[in-house]
Every structure is written in structure tokens, then in C-alpha cells.
Amino acid sequence: MKRRHFLQSVSAGALSGIAANQLASAQGANLPGSLTERGTVLPTRGAVTRRDLPINQPMAEMRYRTPSRFGMGGTQMGNIFAAVSDEQAQSVLQAAWDSGVRHFDTSPFYGYGLSEYRLGRFLRDKKPDDYVISTKAGRVLKASRRALPNAALWVQPAPFDYRYDFTAAGARRSVEDSLQRLGLPKIDIVYLHDLSPDNAELPGTWRDHFAVAATGAMAELTRMRDEGLIRGWGFGINTPDAAVLAAESDVPTPDIVLLACQYSILDHEQTLARTFPALQKKGISVVLGTPLNDGFLGGRNRYHFSDQIPPGANQKRARLLAIADRHGIDIRTAALQFAAAPTIVSAIVPGARVPGQVRANVESMKVNIPSEFWQTLRREGLIATQAPIPG
């Protein structure tokens, strides 16, 4: 389905002086060049309470829900865009654990196994029942000496290549390989990865691969769930097409889907109108990736894994910054709590490159945001009238 351009109606504006200073001080330089710096932390504003991270209450109408509504994404642990040392990866994971995070998302694709290996190493002395792990299937790794694909995406990845495989055997092989890389006895959630029209790498069309998956990987993941090898399965995708098609077709029903780049404080109307209702009818819950639009709402000059910023995005961010400043909070805090607000959302999984980022993300989930802030966003048309809000 074609995405409507979500920022056409946003009026132009400039950063307020105070809001601009927030970003500039967080990045350690003047705007906008410093926004490209990785690993910086936008300070948390507002009173941080002592409450725990939010948890999910049982919902009989949902097929599967994670215990916690907040987790951590694992792309940075796979060296996305810049290398992270093993020591730094372990320090980020330790900061997450010490902050109460018990839900970790990873994938064989992230650094060609590197993210899974690092996560498994960290969890080696933890009790499996104390955390939730999600990983992906759809790509099967194999050792390779040739020049690796996606060199611009993964820096210093593990020496593997991959092939797409959405068959039953491919799904089983992928899950078993992930269990070995992780060194763990179980995987809670397995997502079929990048079965999506925006994946230009796929040979043939995504619908061709969906047809294979319907009787192959989707059926096999259902069997693995029934065997107790996994607890739930779904799709990990940057567009909603495969998840909506599965929800509306006579194929195995996903339990939970990971939607990346599809629901944020900047862009959410289409997901509210189409995707969430289709999934909710089948009791399929949602995990949200990139709730900060790939760090854009944390102050970086990137948007959804690209340095091409959509028209109007800077202006909308500026307006959000100014309103947040007037209410004594920061934009990251507002964005994370907004993404976690819908009932259908089981969890959000923002990533982190340095310990300070994951600690700041956790702090953001504990700030009391004034209700007037949300009402102002609605009055000014910055969030949809029907969008759920925290509290």
C-alpha cells in the first residue's frame, strides 16, 4: 500500500532558542552539523519518578504479549553505520539490564550474527526465564570470504554472507543457528525479517516470497511454537503489507509483529487508520521499532536509516521541541511515551550505542508528562485526534 506523505501539512517553523540550545548542548556543538554525531545523549527533562518500567497486563483477546512494554533494539550491537567494540557492546547491555530492561531484540542480519553473538555472551549467566529475546528468520547465514553485501550498513561485521529462504527448512535452520549463536535454550519471538515491498534485495516480488512463506516458514514457525521451541512468531518489517495480508488471509496467523518506521509521534495516522485495526481483529499485538525515527527525535540528522530528511520533518521536530520546552520536558521522552501508549502495542524497542542512551531512554519512560502537553499537540494538529496518549 502506498504511504501518504505525512508532513505536507506541517507549517514551517524554526527551533526556539531554548530548544535549539537543548540539542546543541546535547551534541556538544552548534546546529545543525553536530546532529550527525553518533553516541550523544539528549538530556532527559522533567521529573523522573522512581516507578518501574511499564508492564503489560494480561489481555485475553491478544495472542501474545511481552511482559514489559519497553525493550532494547540490537542494530547497534551489530555495528550499524559505525563499529562498536565488544567491550562497549557489553557495557550498553549491562546499563540496560541495570536499568530494568529485560526485553532484547536482535537478528542474524545485524552484523551477520554479531549482534546475536554479543547478546548471547551477555546473557550467558542470566536465567532464561528472566528475559525475553526476539530474533529474526528469512535470511540464512553461511561463512564467506568474498566481499560482504551491505558494507555501508554493517561496519566490521562477522565473516558471513546470507541467502533469503522463507521455506519451512529455511526457517528451522535459521532458528537453530540463532540458538547456537545466542548460546541459549529458547527464543521467545521469531519474526520473518524484511518480507516487505521496500526490500529491493529480494529476488522476485515480496508477494512471491509471502506465498512460499505461507506454507513454508509461517507454518513451520507455528509448529515450533506448538513444540515449545518458541513462544510466538510474526513479521519484522518496515511496511505493514505482509502483516496486514496475513491478518486478512487464510494463512497461519501471526502472534505479534515488529513494525519499524511505521508509528511515531511524527508519523502515525496511516498506521492508526489501517494497520492497527487489521491486526487487532486477529488479536495480533505489535512491537514498535525505531520509535525515535532512527534517532531523529533524539537529535540526530538521520531519518529511517538515511540522511535524506523528508520535507517538513525538521519543521515538525522544531515545533515539537518548542512545545516540549514550554512544558518542561524533552522531545525524546514525549516520543517514547507516545509510541508506547496504544493498547495494541506490546513494547517499544529503541536502540542504544552508548550506556547513556539506554539509561536516558529508560528515564524517559518514568517522567510524568503534563496532560496539557498532549492537548496542545492535538490542538495544533501535531498528533492525530484519535491517537492514544499516555496516562
pLDDT at 110: 97
Residues 6 or more apart whose CB falls under 8 angstroms from that of 284 comprise: 62, 63, 234, 243, 247, 253, 254, 255, 256, 257
User: CA 253 to CA 236: how far, in whole Å?
Assistant: 14
| Burial grade of 305 (CB within 10 A; 0-12, 13-18, 19 or more) | middle
Catalytic residue among 64, 117, 136, 188: 136
Helix (H), strand (E) at residue 190: strand 187-193
Q: Indicate the domain borders of the chain.
A: 53-379
With bands split at pLDDT 50, 70 and 90, how would you rate the model's confidence at 15? very low
pLDDT at 148: 67
Average pLDDT score over residue span 29-35: 34
- Grid coordinates in use for 305? 536509516
Strand 160-164 versus strand 139-143 pairing type: antiparallel
pLDDT at 122: 98
- Grid coordinates in use for 320? 515539537
Q: Could you give the 3-state DSSP secondary structure of residue 61?
A: coil
pLDDT at 12: 27
Catalytic residue among 105, 188, 255, 267: 105
Q: List pLDDT tens digits, range 63-79.
A: 999 999 999 999 999 99
As a whole-number percent, the residues of the chain with pLDDT over 90 amount to 79
pLDDT at 5: 34
267-296: burial string, b at 16+ Cβ within 10 Å, e else: bbebbbeebbebbbebbbbbbbbbbbbbbb
pTM of the model: 0.90
pLDDT at 341: 97
Q: List pLDDT tens digits, range 33-42.
A: 333 456 678 8
Of 6 and 282, the structure prediction assigns the larger pLDDT to: 282
Cβ neighbour number for residue 163 with a 10 Å cutoff: 10
Active site residue 112: no
Where do runs of H (alpha helix) occur along 28-110?
A: 86-98
Catalytic residue among 64, 110, 112, 263: 110
The CATH topology of domain 53-379 is: TIM Barrel (3.20.20)
Cβ neighbour number for residue 16 with a 10 Å cutoff: 17
Average pLDDT score over residue span 357-363: 96
Q: What DSSP character marks residue 18?
A: H
Q: Could you tell me the CA-to-CA distances from 282 to 213, 223, 236, 253 in Å, in that order?
A: 19, 19, 17, 8
Active site residue 110: yes
- Grid coordinates in use for 156? 566490521
With bands split at pLDDT 50, 70 and 90, how would you rate the model's confidence at 1? very low
Cβ neighbour number for residue 120 with a 10 Å cutoff: 18
Q: Could you give the 3-state DSSP secondary structure of residue 128?
A: helix
**Nearest one of 151, 152, 84 to 118, comparing CA atoms:** 84
Q: List pLDDT tens digits, range 332-355.
A: 999 999 999 999 999 999 999 999
Active site residue 105: yes
User: CA 243 to CA 257: how far, in whole Å?
Assistant: 7
Cell 549463536 belongs to 181
User: CA 76 to CA 83: how far, in whole Å?
Assistant: 8
User: CA 168 to CA 56: how far, in whole Å?
Assistant: 32
Residue 25 has pLDDT above 80, yes or no: no
Q: List pLDDT tens digits, range 102-125.
A: 999 999 999 999 999 999 999 999
Cite the beta strand spans of 197-338 per DSSP E: 230-237, 256-260, 285-289
Q: How many CA atoms lie within 13 A of 107 on its CB side?
A: 26
Which phi-psi region, left, alpha or beta, contains residue 66 (left: φ > 0; alpha: ψ -120 to 50)? beta
